Amino acid sequence: MSTQVTRLFAGLVDDAAVFPPGSASLPDAVAAHRRHRAAWYADLVGPLLLPASAIAAGELSGLVDPAEGFVIGLIGDTGIERLPFALSLLPPDGVTARQVEVPVAKRGEDPQAGLAELVKLAERWAGTTVYAEIPLTFGLMGALDAVAAARAGGLPVAAKFRTGGLAAELFPTPIELAAVICACRDRELPFKLTAGLHHAIRHRDPETGFTHHGYVNVLAATLAATEGAEVDAVSELLAATDPVRVVEQVRAHRDDERPLWVGYGSCSIEEPLTDLIRLGLVNGGFEGVSE
């Protein structure tokens, strides 16, 4: 483990360069990810996230050297039923799918049917963690119970939630996100997040008017939840716009393993890294940051 990127931040940011708003081409994303993995901040970076549709179309072919041990996360943009086909088309040598992430329902739909289908597939994917993306709407707690039960039964499954998007209703309020974090805590259920976590501290985007969660706020809130804080206290940390309180909460745990929150996808590695440096949470310089 690097002394510049401590254990608390290890693998925090998955490389989602090919997804909007970055929308890098797959060759460019693979080349940039290779540079990230060789950089001084490599410990911060998780797998390269790729859409199942690109794998199914054979777009990864020829881009990866079998000797380099490339690790990806597969995003199920083609739906649950098409995931086995995409996985079957991964190059047999040199590429490992560490995780599969797929929505199990649209907002307002009952997630149980999709969850049941995904759990069946998870039984076939030894060594691959399956993240069920669950809408923060109808049926949420029942879905968390189902994921926790499958996990207790030995399946490598976990939860995933969206924390932003192209509409205001896709940004959960601090109290809504705090309730989800505490619910995962109560079920000992790891979770991932996606969308909207562009910067370390909660802020309002001047272009859209949307207020975004900060990933350091989320980290501070998750640490507090695992130490026994309840929803109101966790919500206060998520809602904080003054960095002092949340940064000090996180700084005190820099050498600890990150609890529950597996991480999140970002189309930029530079943005979260730069914020961590500015806040004094990662001991690096701006030189050597590559995209």
pLDDT at 1: 53
pLDDT at 113: 93
- Is 213's pLDDT higher than 60? yes
pLDDT at 126: 78
Residue whose tokens read 């695992």? 226
* Structure-derived torsion over alpha carbons of residues 187, 190, 196, 199, reported in degrees to the nearest 10: 110
Strands (E), 191-281: 191-194, 203-204, 211-212, 261-266
Quote the pTM value.
0.94
Give per-residue pLDDT as tens, 159-192.
Answer: 999 999 989 999 999 999 999 999 999 999 999 9
- Is 156's pLDDT higher than 90? yes
Strands (E), 156-260: 157-162, 191-194, 203-204, 211-212
Output the six-digit token pair for 261: 């929150």
83 neighbors 122 (Cβ within 8 angstroms):
no
106 neighbors 68 (Cβ within 8 angstroms):
no
Task: Compute the distance between CA of residue 152 and CA of residue 189 in angstroms, rounded to an integer.
Answer: 10
Per cent of the chain over pLDDT 90 is 83
Instruction: Work out the average pLDDT over 210-218.
Output: 98
21 neighbors 274 (Cβ within 8 angstroms):
no
Give per-residue pLDDT as tens, 66-87.
Answer: 888 899 999 999 999 999 999 8
Mean pLDDT of the chain, nearest integer: 93
Task: Compute the distance between CA of residue 182 and CA of residue 61 in angstroms, rounded to an integer.
Answer: 42
Q: Note every long-range contact of 32-40, with CB atoms under 8 Å and residues 24 or more positions apart, other chains counting.
A: 32/290, 32/291, 34/68, 35/290, 36/269, 36/290, 39/288, 39/289, 39/290, 40/2, 40/4, 40/284, 40/288
- Is 291's pLDDT higher than 90? no
Single-letter residue type at 114: G
The CA distances from residue 148 to 77, 122, 132, 137, in Å, are 24, 14, 11, 18
Cβ-based neighbours of 274, under 8 Å, separated by 6 or more: 286, 289
pLDDT at 66: 85
pLDDT at 287: 42
Give per-residue pLDDT as tens, 241-288.
Answer: 999 999 999 999 999 999 999 999 999 999 999 999 999 999 865 444
pLDDT at 124: 85
Backbone angles phi, psi at 8, to 5 degrees: -60, -30
pLDDT at 2: 57
H-run or E-run covering 248: helix 243-251
- Is 215's pLDDT higher than 70? yes
Task: Compute the distance between CA of residue 173 and CA of residue 190 in angstroms, rounded to an integer.
Answer: 20
pLDDT at 288: 41
pLDDT at 181: 98
Domains and CATH numbers, the chain: 7-278 (3.20.20.70)
